[in-house]
Amino acid sequence: MSTGAVLYAGAIGLFLIGCYAMVAERHLIRNILGLVLVESGVNLLLVAVGFRENAAAPILKAGQSAGMMVDPLPQALVLTAIVIGFGVLALALALVVRVHQAYGTLDTREVARLMRVEREASGPGAAGPRAGAKS
Amino acid sequence: MTLLITLITGVMLLAAIAVVVLRGLLAAVAALAAVSLALSVLFVLLRAPDVALAEAAVGAGLSGVLLALTLRRVGLWPGGPAREDEQ
Amino acid sequence: MKGYGHTAATLLFLTGLGILLIAILQALPFGLAPMQVGQAIVAAAPGDTGADNIVTAILLGYRGLDTLGEVTILFVAAAAAGMVLGGASRGGAQAENAGFILHSAAYLLFPFLLVLGAYIVLHGHLTPGGGFQGGAILAAAFFVPVLASPASPFNHRTAMLVEGFAGAAFIMIGLVSLVGSDAFLTPFFGKGEAGALFSAGSLPLLYLAIGLKVGSELAGLMARVSGAEAGA
């Protein structure tokens, strides 16, 4: 197998494993772990696409002119994506903490059931978690 | 070079499978940090030192800590203090 | 029965997705991807910006507006997390202090992390790293003590102040560059001598602003989600 095939297989593998965790798992935190895995897979793919054999890292050494370098553009984009991924992760975890405060569970089906019960109890038109329902 | 990349990609995929297979959530988070670490080594091999630094600092470091702290906060940290006042 | 059907459907979906991705990547030869834009930037960046690190030149020079948008996204994420968790959890962290070893190591580590973060931020235009990576390390430096002793308050006010000033500084630098040229965020000051700390015009200043902003933002975000007590 060539280097490229290995890297592409790694990226696709991360993507698929992350998709599995997002679709099949019922725990909210596991879904978020799957999201992070998908992000990692896409990042790896982008950097791998910009790679060139026998090329230098996109950093000039002192007194050296720009020769053959790997593509710096995907690297800049992936750098952005990693930091934004952390922001998304933190926001998702904040929502998870809030869901746990409101419903006392993180099982998606259980949360959906509780939401349905709540909606039926409070009549049509009133939906969503009441703030501080359990405190 | 190819051998090294194959080896590290394999480790990364094994850790990714561990994220899904491991039943303990804290263990899954640790496996996720391992995925990030292997990924940052791959970035170094792909001549992307900037990205590798970001992945190591943000992905393997802060993300793992943040996930672990969230687990503690929602009382899923095994053996940790179950100290959520809302329950 | 229902569970089996669900798993089977999931696996079928993933198989299809995998085949699709493999088919797409077949058309993308490894190591030969066309990269005219990348090569043009590699050729032009040292003359345009004077930065040795071409990724930095792209992030702050060619795509500075993107970076402003990225920092804005981070800010929105932090604000939303603060809004979601806002007043919901006073007294979320009555956790006891960590053991002696972790406690003393955290405070021993603090100055080293600070120096490392500052070095990575300030040398962003010369060596790998920059505002985002160094900012993450700075956030870790300020968050590790909170980790060791959860009872000690995290100062959200100061973090917000630093964040606001850094964000304003980024935009001010962009506006100042309008004086000499006709585009927002055009690097100004001389290019300087390649490889020197004071080179690459205003890029190090921009990265310093980003480093402070990202560092305070990430530290505040972590403290918020982990439920550290809000200090005065």
Per the listing, tokens 């790997």 go with A70
Enclosing H/E stretch for C121: helix C100-122
By CB atoms closer than 10 A (0-12, 13-18, 19+), residue C108 is exposed
Domain ranges for chain C = 53-226
Which of the two residues, C227 and B38, has the higher pLDDT score? Answer: B38
Chain A (58-87) residues lying within 8 Å, Cβ to Cβ, of chain C: 58-63, 65-66, 69, 71-76, 79-80, 82-84, 86-87
Q: How far apart are CA C136 and CA B50, in angstroms?
A: 13
Per the listing, tokens 């969230």 go with B70
Q: Is some CB atom of chain B closer than 8 A to the CB atom of C130?
A: yes
Domain ranges for chain B = 2-73
CB-CB neighbours of C9 under 10 Å: 12
pLDDT tens-digit readout, C1-10? 456 788 888 8
Q: Which of B6, B53, B67 is the mutation pick for testing C, counting most C CBs within 10 A?
A: B53
Domain ranges for chain A = 3-121
Q: Which of B83, B71, B79 is nearest to B29 (CA)?
A: B71
Highest mean pLDDT among A121-125, B50-54, C43-47 belongs to: B50-54
pLDDT tens-digit readout, C131-188? 889 999 988 888 888 777 766 667 777 888 888 888 888 888 888 877 777 677 677 7
Q: How far apart are CA B70 and CA B74, in angstroms?
A: 6
CA distance A49 to chain C (A): 6
Quick check: ipTM above 0.95? no
Annotation: CATH topology of A3-121: Helix Hairpins (1.10.287)
